[in-house]
Chain A
Amino acid sequence: MAVTQNLLDKTLRWYIFLATLILLIASPVFYFVTRQMYIHEANEHLKLRKKEFIRYHLPSLHQTDIALWNRYNRDEKILDRKGGSRKEKLRTVFYFDSLAHDYEPYRELNTPITIEGRPYVFSAKINLIEKEDLLQGTGLLFFVLITTMLIGLYFITKVLSIKLWKPFYIGLEHLEKFEVDKSASTRLSQTTINEFVRLNQVIENLIRKNTSIYNTQKEFIENAAHELQTPLAVIQGKLETLFQQSSLTQSQSEVLEKLNDAVARLSRLNKNLLLLSRIEHDQFSESENISVNDLLKKHYEFFSEQAAAKKIRITVESSPSVNVTANPVLTEVMINNLFLNAIRHNIEGGYISIQLKETGFAISNTGHHSALPEQKIFSRFSKINPSTQGSGLGLAIVKKIADLNRWEIRYAFKNNWHTFSVNFR
């Protein structure tokens, strides 16, 4: 599976990527364009100064004035033309500045002129900003710009996006917490964003539909189980009437006994189904402080009788008084089911060990020499051994009861012992 990220983190990551890209591409472009415009502007300026000189100063200038001119003009000099080009020339040159102790870049325009018949060069120059300064400036400018933009984006994403996406996260949380067998409100938060309104509607519909399907199914099971009771009673009654016939042959009797067993099994299954659906309908909500020792003792005789028929030996290790707050009927059912399973799935001449402590209840038994599939044993009708008489609901009921009380139920297989333990916490 791919590594997952938060939606907002992912957005931010893209923002940072974009900002870096802009910084990398735009700053050199900006640098060159600025520099180009700057040099162009310097050229224009120099040409203007040249024009001014030629129009206003050159006509009245004498050879004797040149020294004086050069003395007081820093950036406009009149130089001898020693066989140099007769063409106007623009170039960038570096001059050493004795004050700054550094080479400074200049833009220089050399124009050939003639004063009183002699050839001279009019050289005008203008100080340029150093390249490093420009680079630094551009860099700084862009850095500040991008950083400001990123910080801005970060806060917009964090604050605005969180606000914008809030309904989404609420919906998500709602879905995560949703359990079909727990009734919860299907109302999600109000929002004015179209997509979220749609999303919420879909989620609400989905939840409502699922809950209603679940409820219908639950009711169906309860009604079906309930409606089956009466016909079952009729079948059992009729079977008993048949039993009383004195003219039954041996094979007929055997068929009857099998029928009787099947009906007993069916009614047991039905009762368990009813019990399960009643637990789901919260019909055992009232709880009280009960002694688990008493519950264990209550039917101990019954179970030891059942165990004796299979020559199973039982050892009990219990703390003197273990109390829990739970529904007494259900807790009894839970212990009985676990106890019965330990007998039912045991081997002839096997062992059962029961441990009751303040923290929990554990029952271990010998039996099959392999572990049971842990993820399957607590689901309905997952019978591991199809030959037994179990309804396939016993452990599902145990699990339901444990869940209802927030008790942890565990299965373990060690040294050929199957152990079910309930942690009262």
Chain B
Amino acid sequence: MKVLLIEDERELANSIVNYLKGNDVICEWADTLESSLDKISSHTYDCILLDLSLPDGHGFEILKELKNKNATEGVIIISAKETLQTKIEGLNLGADDYLTKPFHISELLARVQALIRRKNFNGNNVVRFQEIEIDTLSKSVKVGHTQIDLTKKEMDLLLFMIGNQNGVLSKSTIAEHLSGDMADMLDNHDFVYAHIKNLKKKLHEAGCNDYIKTVYGLGYKWQ
């Protein structure tokens, strides 16, 4: 998986690049409009992460360029701007997703994975981890040959954890991922525990190994 990160904030870019690298995603970084256009013209990526306010221009220029090229790259806008108008304009210009700063990088990774799954729908929407097999299109989960019945939230949680399998996910990160648009409203993350417990139970009943580890004080880890 190869991703281009267009972001002018060096420190944020560093964190993102490192995190993605830790999860087996190759991540290139550009910090200006010019260097980004340069990279797009000579390489192809699975996904582009785009900050809108760049020192030498607006990120929408890149969307227009990609449209001109009939490029297949998926684009996720990462911006501090949160107005509906910017969102709509970005999506109209061909962006696939919109993530407002500040965000959890684990959330960003989950969005990248989901986007890539959607883009490569010709056969490649099955996520596998050891004996677990998730078909994201038909929304079905199998452990070995046993079909298990998960709720939408549990399925979401499973995908999120497998997607971020090399890192620790804090309760608040998981809570925000599961709540989507409503993440801003959260101040109680206790419900995460209930979902984790249910998921663990269902996987265990199907004879699956216990991959969900509790990291004391931090959250959970998939390993």
Contacts and interface: CB of A to CB of B under 8 A. Distances in A.
Interface of A: 226, 229-230, 232-238, 240-241, 243-244, 248, 250, 253-254, 256-257, 260-261, 263-265, 267-268, 271-272, 274, 278, 283, 299, 302, 305-306, 308-310, 329, 336-337, 340, 343-344, 388-390
A241 B185 contact: no
A240 B80 contact: no
Given A243-B167, A253-B218, 14 more contacts: A230-B9, A234-B12, A235-B102, A236-B102, A237-B102, A243-B218, A244-B19, A256-B217, A264-B186, A302-B179, A302-B185, A308-B191, A336-B182, A344-B187
Contacts of A389: 187-188
Contact of A283 (B83, B100, B179): B83
Interface string B98-129: 00111111100000000000000000000000
A230 B83 CA distance: 16
A291 B80 CA distance: 31
Contacts of B81: 226
A306 B188 contact: yes
A278 B166 CA distance: 39
A256 B170 CA distance: 10
Nearest to B53: A230
Contacts, number: 118
Nearest to B11: A234
Nearest to A270: B102
Given A240-B15, A253-B217, A271-B184, A229 B102 contact: yes
B29 to A, nearest CB: 13
Interface of B: 9, 11-12, 14-16, 18-19, 22, 80-85, 100-106, 166-168, 170-173, 176, 179, 182, 184-188, 190-191, 194, 215-219
A234 B218 contact: no
18 contacts: A229-B80, A233-B9, A234-B9, A234-B11, A235-B102, A244-B19, A244-B167, A250-B217, A253-B218, A257-B171, A257-B219, A263-B102, A265-B187, A302-B182, A305-B191, A308-B194, A340-B185, A344-B187
Contacts of B170: 243, 257, 260
Contacts of B187: 265, 268, 344, 388-390
A237 B22 contact: no
Contacts of A256: 217-218
Closest CB pairs A-B (n = 7): A237-B15, A389-B187, A253-B217, A229-B80, A233-B102, A233-B101, A309-B190
A274 B81 CA distance: 10
Nearest to A284: B84
A226 to B, nearest CB: 6
Given A243-B167, A309-B188, A234 B172 contact: no
B82 A244 contact: no
A235 B102 CA distance: 9
Contacts of A263: 102
Given A267-B102, A310-B188, A233 B80 contact: yes
Contacts of B12: 230, 233-234, 237
B107 to A, nearest CB: 10
A340 B100 CA distance: 22
Contacts of B216: 250, 253
Nearest to B176: A264
A36 to B, nearest CB: 93
B223 to A, nearest CB: 11
A268 B188 CA distance: 13
A344 B187 CA distance: 8
B82 A238 contact: no
Contacts of B103: 233, 236
Contacts of B16: 237
Contact of B191 (A238, A271, A309, A388): A309
A329 B85 CA distance: 12
Contacts of A329: 84
B184 A268 contact: yes
Contacts of A229: 80, 100-102
